[in-house]
Chains A and B, each alone.
Chain A
Amino acid sequence: MTMTTTTSPTTTSPTTTSPTTTSPTTTSPTTTTPAVPWTTSDRSAVRARGDDVRAFPAALRSEWIKLASLRANRVILGLTAAVGALIAWVLATTATDPALTASELFIYPLPLIATLATVSGILLFTAEAQHGTLAGVLTARPARWVVVSAKTTLAAAVGLALGATGMVAGFGGAAAGGVDLGSGSALTSRALWALLYTGLAALIGLGVGMIARHSAGAISGLLMWSFVIESLFAPALPDGLVHVLPFSAGYRLLDAGSNFDPPVAIAHELARPLYALIFGGYAVASLALGAVLLYRRDTD
């Protein structure tokens, strides 16, 4: 059935309430007209592809405001520093190998910090979906790829920030534990591989969050996979398959010397850049699937 309104400017309901007959309890309705000078002349302007690209900085700024103004994110940053310092300090004070130095130990807390980065990446999206703010974001910016790009950039930045914080705190904790500082020659290379690890971990988290749209489900699923399923089933798998397990590959981005044992052993390891490609592949695949679902799914 199709009908169309037959509204006329002259036909007004006798029951329409005039704004002068009832006064609002709070403030005058007229104050919604902006006093701040800015343009709304382009209200009906149709967007071009270039407009979406130009909208990216605004979307990123919006994401940053949300991230920076949430106390929980400051708690995660503080927790990262505490975990990094504590683990490195405990290992330094209990170390039996006199050759172990702070420039190796600072990497040891990174697997746990990568987990925090993954959780942060998940929450960047699932918190919006669960609290109903995603609808506001997508109505303001219907080009969903702009939103995905801004969130991806911010998730990577969060992963790098948490990684850097954990490593600085880890180095400090190890030094405080009394071990030698060690040689600085390999430190930069180790730190860069570790940053790649935590950055990609955060991106995988964001991708999984976009797919799952539910914080508890995404976090418990990823933790279960990372800490239980890969460890349990890897020994039964041939080397070729173990290479492509995501978190086993991720661990192997860490260059922390012979004392550092990843939870899943691989008899013949590949070169580190290949593991970077595998771990990065999971990040790209999860983000791509999440983006496709964001376009295809309805948003509550």
Chain B
Amino acid sequence: MITVTGLTKRYGDRTAVDDLSFTVAPGRVTGFVGPNGAGKSTTMRMMVGLTRPDRGEVRYGDARYHELRHPARLVGAVLDARGAHPGHTARNHLRALAALSDIPVARVAEVLAAVGLESAADQRTGGFSLGMRQRLALAGALLGDPQVLLLDEPSNGLDPDGIRWLRTHLSAFAERGGSVFVSSHLIGELSMFADDLVVVGGGKLLAADTVAAITSRQVASIVVETPQPADLVRALTARGASVEATGDRLVVRGATKATVSDLAFEHGVRLLELREVAPSLEESLLALTGASAEFASA
């Protein structure tokens, strides 16, 4: 269990991370979501001791990160895909990392195979695509066979196959009991494999819950198609519902499907379509953060 308590970081007058507290449970994929500039990367850097918090702490079980004897054997972190010297081969880059944490060199071949970089193992990383760099960074994180993976925007630069591979990999890691904490501003992408979400905006915690719980915070909307939209809009608004009308098509909030049906019957309005639409995770998060322009759907 990772426990983040009261984490705060200021740069001059700007508070990048403001009293952030949450937990990351084992056996689950926890998405770390927020618009650009919400403080996600700063938080993740504080979680592995690269950035000094002004206040607060992060504990892995009972220990703080810098207290661990072999941090790479507990926590694998991918915070920057460019983290390899362009003159080093993938194999030598990983050999150096393995040596630093007293990890047997044979483990290098295993993680290269795990991320699908065997054939490029002896190529210099300067010629790698961003996707190959992401895979190499993940290989570095897996070297110590850790129980925790911290990944900052790991799908950047990956093609659709790569994204699917990553998703599968992370889900499998969590199913084996590991904790995955993965940041992304691609909500659609996260919604496909995250179990829990930590939502931040402006450095503050906006929500920390399961994906299902966060999605259910938004009320469902009713989609109606009718050849008499004006009559139905009048009836619905008189009942206090809000209605967005586009031609014959109405999106109704603040009323149930049964209410809409009853009102249509009472006012002699013919319905061509009547269905309830559950709120998407994206809609739920946008409602939480109120920063639609900075989010992007996968």
- A interface list, Cβ under 8 A from B: 1-9, 11-19, 22-27, 29-36, 38, 40, 42-48, 51, 55, 58-59, 61-63, 65-66, 69-72, 127-128, 131-133, 135-143, 296, 298-300
Which residues of chain B are near A66, meaning CB under 8 Å? 85, 88, 92, 96
Q: Are A19 and B172 in contact (CB under 8 A)?
A: yes
8 additional contacts, CB 8 Å, given A5-B208, A16-B195, A32-B173?
A: A7-B23, A15-B193, A17-B192, A31-B114, A47-B67, A58-B102, A63-B96, A299-B50
Q: Are B172 and A7 in contact (CB under 8 A)?
A: no
Q: Quick check: is B49 within 8 A (CB to CB) of the other chain?
A: yes
C-alpha gap A133/B147 in the complex (Å): 22
Q: Are A3 and B173 in contact (CB under 8 A)?
A: no
- B interface list, Cβ under 8 A from A: 6, 18-19, 21-25, 27-30, 45, 48-52, 60-63, 65-75, 77, 79-80, 82-89, 92-93, 95-97, 99-104, 106-107, 110-111, 113-116, 140, 142, 144-147, 161-162, 164-165, 167-169, 171-173, 175-176, 191-196, 198, 204-205, 207-213, 281
C-alpha gap A142/B95 in the complex (Å): 19
- Contact (A62, B96) CB under 8 Å given A26-B165, A32-B114, A72-B87: yes
- Contact (A140, B100) CB under 8 Å given A33-B145, A34-B145, A42-B73: yes
Q: Are A29 and B116 in contact (CB under 8 A)?
A: no
Q: Are A25 and B145 in contact (CB under 8 A)?
A: no
- Minimal beta-carbon separation of B165 from chain A (angstroms): 4
C-alpha gap A32/B173 in the complex (Å): 9
C-alpha gap A22/B110 in the complex (Å): 22
Q: Are B69 and A135 in contact (CB under 8 A)?
A: no
Which 4 A-B residue pairings sit nearest by Cβ, starting from the closest? A26-B116, A13-B211, A29-B172, A24-B165
Residue on A with the closest CB to B148?
A: A43
C-alpha gap A141/B66 in the complex (Å): 8
Q: Are B72 and A140 in contact (CB under 8 A)?
A: yes
Pick from B30, B169, B205: contact of A29, CB under 8 Å: B169
Q: Are B69 and A47 in contact (CB under 8 A)?
A: yes
- Contact (A32, B167) CB under 8 Å given A6-B209, A46-B69: no
Which residues of chain B are near A43, meaning CB under 8 Å? 70, 73-74, 146-147
- Minimal beta-carbon separation of A255 from chain B (angstroms): 37
Which residues of chain B are near A132, meaning CB under 8 Å? 80, 82-84
- Contact (A139, B110) CB under 8 Å given A7-B210, A43-B73: no
Q: Are B195 and A13 in contact (CB under 8 A)?
A: yes
Counting chain B CB atoms within 10 Å of each CB, which of A13, A133, A136, A139 scores highest? A139
C-alpha gap A142/B58 in the complex (Å): 14
Which residues of chain B are near A33, meaning CB under 8 Å? 145, 176
C-alpha gap A140/B83 in the complex (Å): 13
Residue on B with the closest CB to A58?
A: B102
Q: Are B87 and A70 in contact (CB under 8 A)?
A: yes
Q: Are A18 and B171 in contact (CB under 8 A)?
A: yes
Which residues of chain B are near A143, meaning CB under 8 Å? 66
Counting chain A CB atoms within 10 Å of each CB, which of B99, B111, B213 scores highest? B99
- Minimal beta-carbon separation of A204 from chain B (angstroms): 23
A-B contact pairs, 11 of them (CB 8 A): A1-B204, A1-B205, A5-B25, A5-B30, A5-B209, A9-B25, A11-B212, A15-B191, A27-B113, A27-B114, A69-B96
Counting chain B CB atoms within 10 Å of each CB, which of A34, A128, A143 scores highest? A34
- Minimal beta-carbon separation of B220 from chain A (angstroms): 15
C-alpha gap A23/B69 in the complex (Å): 36
Q: Are A35 and B110 in contact (CB under 8 A)?
A: yes
Q: Are A65 and B95 in contact (CB under 8 A)?
A: yes
C-alpha gap A136/B169 in the complex (Å): 21
Q: Are A36 and B107 in contact (CB under 8 A)?
A: yes
Q: Are A5 and B100 in contact (CB under 8 A)?
A: no
Residue on A with the closest CB to B3?
A: A4
- Minimal beta-carbon separation of A23 from chain B (angstroms): 7
- Minimal beta-carbon separation of A216 from chain B (angstroms): 16
Pick from A3, A16, A32, A46: contact of B111, CB under 8 Å: A32
- Minimal beta-carbon separation of A122 from chain B (angstroms): 15
Residue on B with the closest CB to A60?
A: B99
- Minimal beta-carbon separation of A213 from chain B (angstroms): 14
Residue on B with the closest CB to A138?
A: B50
Pick from A25, A29, A141: contact of B100, CB under 8 Å: A141
Q: Are A3 and B104 in contact (CB under 8 A)?
A: no
